[in-house]
Amino acid sequence: MAETDSVAIAERGGAASQAVEAALCAASLKHFATEFAFIQNQNNQRIEKWQPWPYLLDLIDIIQQYDLIYILKASQLGISWLVSIINLWIALFSETSKCLLLSQGQTEAQDLLSKVDFVHSHLPDYLQMPTSTNNREAFTLRDNGAEIRALPSTEKAGHGFQGTLITRDELARHEFAEDNFRAVSRSGARLIELSTANKKDSTNYFGAKTSEFYYHSQTVKYVYPSGVELYTNPAKPSQCLVFLSWDLRPTRLEGMSLQEWWDSRILPRYTALEIEEQFPKHITDVFKASVTKAYFEATVLEDMGYELCAPIKQDVVNTHNNVVRVYKPPDKTKKYVVFTDPSDGIEDPFVTGVMDYITGEVVCSATGKERVDYVGAIHDYLARTYNDAVNSFEYNAVGMAFAKCLDDLQTPSQAPRRKTDGSRDEGKKGQFVSQKHKQLMFADLATATVKRGYVIHDREFLQQAKLVQRDDLGFPVTDKKITFDWVMMMNGLWQLQKYAPRTPYKAATYDL
Residue 304 lies in a domain: yes
* Whether residue 135 sits in one domain with residue 265: yes
- The CATH number of residue 389's host domain is 3.30.420.240
Confidence of residue 504 (pLDDT cuts 50, 70, 90): very low
Return the H-helix or E-strand segment holding 178. helix 177-184
Backbone angles phi, psi at 351, to 5 degrees: -140, 130
For residues 234 and 11, the model is more confident at 234
User: Is 6 inside a domain boundary?
Assistant: no
Same domain for 229 and 313, yes or no, is no
Question: Residue 345: is its pLDDT beyond 90?
Answer: no
pLDDT over 80 at 178, yes or no: yes
In sequence order, which ranges of 355-419 are alpha helices (DSSP H)?
372-385, 399-409
Residues 326 and 472 both lie in one domain:
yes
Residue 33's contacts (CB-CB under 8 Å, 6 or more residues apart) are 50, 52, 60, 82, 85, 89
Choose among 387, 464, 461, 401: nearest CA to 430: 401
Three-point CA angle 422, 483, 169, nearest 5°: 140
SS3 string of 288-343?
Answer: CCCCCCECCCHHHHHHHHHHCCCCCCCCCCCCCCCCEEECCCCCCCCCEEEEEECC
Residue 441 CB coordination number (10 Å):
23
32-64 pLDDT per residue, tens: 999 999 999 877 778 999 999 999 999 999 999
Residue 336 falls within a domain, yes or no?
yes
How does pLDDT run across 406-432, given as a tens digit for each residue?
Answer: 999 999 999 999 998 888 888 899 999
Same domain, 257 and 174: yes
85 and 119 Cβ atoms separated by less than 8 Å = yes
Q: Do 203 and 139 meet the contact criterion of CB atoms below 8 Å apart?
A: no
Non-local (6+) Cβ contacts of 94 within 8 A are 144, 146, 164
- Residue 21: inside a domain: no
Answer yes or no: are the C-beta atoms of 356 and 334 closer than 8 Å: yes
Is position 504 within any domain? no
Question: 274 with 339, same domain?
Answer: no
Q: Do 276 and 309 share a domain, yes or no?
A: no
Please report which confidence band the pLDDT of residue 13 belongs to, taking 50, 70 and 90 as the band edges. Answer: low
274 & 318 share domain = no
Nearest to 209 by CA among 198, 220, 223, 222: 198
**pLDDT classification of 501: cutoffs 50, 70, 90:** low
Asked if residue 468 and residue 347 are part of one domain, the reply reads yes
Distance CA(95)–CA(84), nearest Å, equals 18
Task: Answer for the pair 253, 261: CB distance below 8 angstroms, yes or no.
Answer: yes
For the stretch 449-498, pLDDT in tens is 999 999 999 999 998 998 888 887 888 888 776 788 999 999 999 999 88
- Please check whether residue 293 lies inside any domain of the structure: no
Tell me, yes or no, whether 244 and 324 share the same domain.
Answer: no
Q: 235, 261, 287: which is the final residue of a domain? A: 287
Total number of domains constituting the chain: 2
**Predicted pLDDT at 413:** 93
pLDDT of 492 reads 95
Which burial class, exposed, middle or buried, applies to 144 when counting CB atoms under 10 A from its CB (0-12, 13-18, 19+)? middle
Distance between CA 348 and CA 209 in Å, rounded? 18
- Return all residues near 246 (Cβ < 8 A) that are at least 6 apart: 74, 75, 77, 278, 279, 280, 281
Model confidence at 2, pLDDT cuts 50, 70, 90, reads: very low
Does residue 338 fall inside a structural domain? yes
Q: Is the dihedral of CA 320, 321, 327, 328 positive or negative?
A: positive
Instruction: Give the domain extent around 275.
Output: 51-287
Q: Which of 240, 259, 287 is the last residue of a domain?
A: 287
Question: Please, which pLDDT band fits residue 6 given cuts at 50, 70 and 90?
Answer: low
Statement: residue 161 has pLDDT above 80: no
Return the higher-pLDDT residue of 275 and 190: 190
Question: Is residue 272 assigned to a domain?
Answer: yes
Q: For residues 86 and 190, what is the distance between their CA atoms, to the nearest angstrom?
A: 12
pLDDT digits (tens, 9 = 90+) for 59-105: 999 999 999 999 999 999 999 999 999 999 999 999 999 999 999 88
**Among 165, 173, 184, 172, CA closest to 82:** 165
CATH number of the domain residue 178 falls in: 3.40.50.300
- Dihedral sign from CA coordinates of 44, 57, 216, 356: negative
Predicted local confidence at residue 181, as pLDDT: 87
